[in-house]
Structure 1
């Protein structure tokens, strides 16, 4: 009887091997279809944002459309609130070919190509349209192409998260008011140097740690866009918001270039098109609801402080020299005709 059972198990194992249904590497697998074997691919996409954030809603649209248009052969898994890992960790996985992606900003991508950080420089753009115009310049296009050598593929860089403002425990109306205040930085050189040029001391923290750090008075403020301030309830642990608008946060969906290259060409085109469409729609929601997000912060007890925006702009400009971006900034300004 034992021999019969073992023989049956052996035959079953041989049958599974023959169908070729085992998992393939790098997020791909093969399944039998009506026309033979059809390879399927899985892309895991992460973000630090919550599921209520407009950017996450855009990613849900990306997932839905990609899966529909590829007949389910490209599956997209979404992870909010840094569940997939910190941006840097996900980027390192993508770099070596894993089927992962992340919504991230130019400052973090500057860790791989330094000049890319210029695209999130302080007061380089005044609004969404201005930030989007940067992505149509030769500077952006040349740098984006270079990322392929580092193992990355930018599907699109049009996910607008809004203007970055200062949420603090004490009122800040001019750069001098930032002197001595510990303000959270994401850790990117652009953010750190810009905040310091504006007068702040910086403390590098993961965004997921900012709320508790404010509670425990490890820091006295953060710079963040209104939708994220609502999504993370940062208004509960700050008392003032200064609408400096020092950064226009345009982010992108960055995935593994090696994983992307393994896709059929029609799938590649679908991913690029649907990423752009999702970014466009998510950005429109952010813009439409920005006043609503700010009002929620005000209703939560935060007071809006009038500020000398030109003074902040003048102070922040020093960061371009500190970062070595002065020549690159001049080139962008000339190309944009500003």
Structure 2
């Protein structure tokens, strides 16, 4: 009996040790030196985006990951997942809100689903240069809205990842808003995107990024509004003829992660994550601006026609309707005043 009792106690001790070991694998992995402080644990952030690996943003995310890992001596690692590998954006944002170690490249339009006023950044002609984007840091009104996102479990790491100007890519020439009449143009499903495209003259159609090629082929849509860098990676030059340079939106992207996960990081890691995200974002944005001329040359060679004679002033006037419909005119004017626009 004593032997059986001893064996039972020994078995219980072994099980407790095993469970403790399993539990430690589900939190952060300690670095090889075995130190117990938070600074000596390894944290992992899974960063997701829908773009192809050939786009500059993907390279920029890899540069961000490398810089963070180097500055934290491997304590904080970013794994980059391109082309929607981890699922659709809305689901990923919901996971982040719940505290999952996921971040995503998103835009103000989607964040406007949580804090309405943030959608203003994706309105027609809201900002028109990288200099104006940089000045947004000086807007207390914008910062207030960004801080409000944390109530929904989302932390903004950076909002200076700029994908250059969006234009209308179609199979007919577009010079003025009237030329878009009756055309079904692919755009994300958020209200600011929908109303912006409608205000500029077209019929907006919500469609996932990866479905555009077949959508154009099958006649479900007549074109899309995108940045130049989107076209080669998705091979849309095969199904679209005109690049109409309306420059209607300078596309600001946000890198957003779980606020709960972010707050669990050591303060030094938090600082490094934000600093390197901002740095990589501006470097990537400038690179994308510099790459436009070569992309246009590539598209011309592939048979696309570059229409650089659009009536921008008329499009600007038309675009004001989007702000009015969504009751964002006052917000827009307040932020413009703060950045001196």
Same fold by TM-score, threshold 0.5 exceeded?
Answer: yes
Question: Matches of 2:14 and 2:67 in 1, distance apart?
Answer: 37
Note the alpha carbon deviations across 1:226-272, whole angstroms, 9 max, x for none.
11112211111101111000000111110000000101111111101
- SS where residue 77 of structure 1 aligns? strand
**Structure 1 residue 333, shift from structure 2 partner:** 2.3
What is aligned with 2:306?
Answer: 304
Quote the residue 1:3 is aligned against: none
- Which residue in 2 is equivalent to 1:281? 283
- 1:135-174 maps to which residues of 2 (within 5 A)? 135-174=137-176
- C-alpha separation between the residues in 2 aligned to 1:315 and 1:33? 62
Match of 1:35 in 2: 35
| Residue 35 (structure 1) shift | 2.9
Q: Is the 8 A contact 2:296 2:306 kept in 1?
A: no
Task: Report the Cα distance in structure 1 between the residues aligned to 2:146 and 2:25, rounded to whole angstroms.
Answer: 32
Tell me by how many angstroms 1:31 deviates: 5.3
- For the 8 Å contact 1:20–1:30, the answer to whether it is kept is no
Is 1:315 aligned to residue 318 of structure 2? yes
Shift of 1:20: 6.7
Counterpart in 1 of 2:224? Answer: 222
Residue of structure 1 in register with 2:124 after alignment = 122
**d(CA) in 2 for partners of 1:158 and 1:15?**
47
Once the two structures are superposed, what CA deviation does each residue of 1:105-155 show, in whole Å capped at 9, x if it has no partner? 111100110100111210122222223323431122111111111101111
**In 2: Cα distance, 1:336 partner to 1:36 partner:** 46
- Is contact 1:119–1:134 with CA below 8 Å preserved after alignment? no
TM-aligned CA distance change 1:282 to 1:157, over 3 Å: same
Counterpart contact for 2:138–2:339, Cα < 8 Å: no
User: Per-residue deviation at 1:17?
Assistant: 4.7
Residue among 19, 24, 32 paired with 1:22: 24
Give 2:339's aligned residue.
336
**Deviations 1:87-120, CA, capped at 9 Å, x for gaps:** 2111111011000000111111001101001112
CA-to-partner distance for each residue in 1:176-196, whole Å, 9 max, x for gaps? 111110000111211110110
Residue ranges of structure 1 left out of the alignment (5+ in a row): 1-6
Instruction: Give the conservation status (yes or no) of the 8 Å contact 1:103–1:252.
Output: yes
CA shift at 1:39, angstroms?
2.5
Q: Aligned partners of 2:30 and 2:102: how far apart in 1?
A: 19
Alpha-carbon separation, structure 1, partners of 2:250 and 2:137: 13
CA gap 1:73/1:8 in 2 versus in 1, 3 angstroms: farther
Whether 1:326 and 2:332 are equivalent positions in the alignment is no
Structure 2: gaps of 5 or more residues: 1-8
139 and 36 in structure 1: CA distance in 2 versus 1, 3 angstrom threshold:
closer
- How many residues matched? 332
Residue 294 of structure 1, CA deviation: 1.9
SS in 2 for 1:35: coil
Q: TM-score, normalised by structure 1?
A: 0.92
Distance 1:111 1:36 in 2: 40
Contact 2:142 2:335 in 1 (8 A): no
Give the drift of 1:273: 0.8
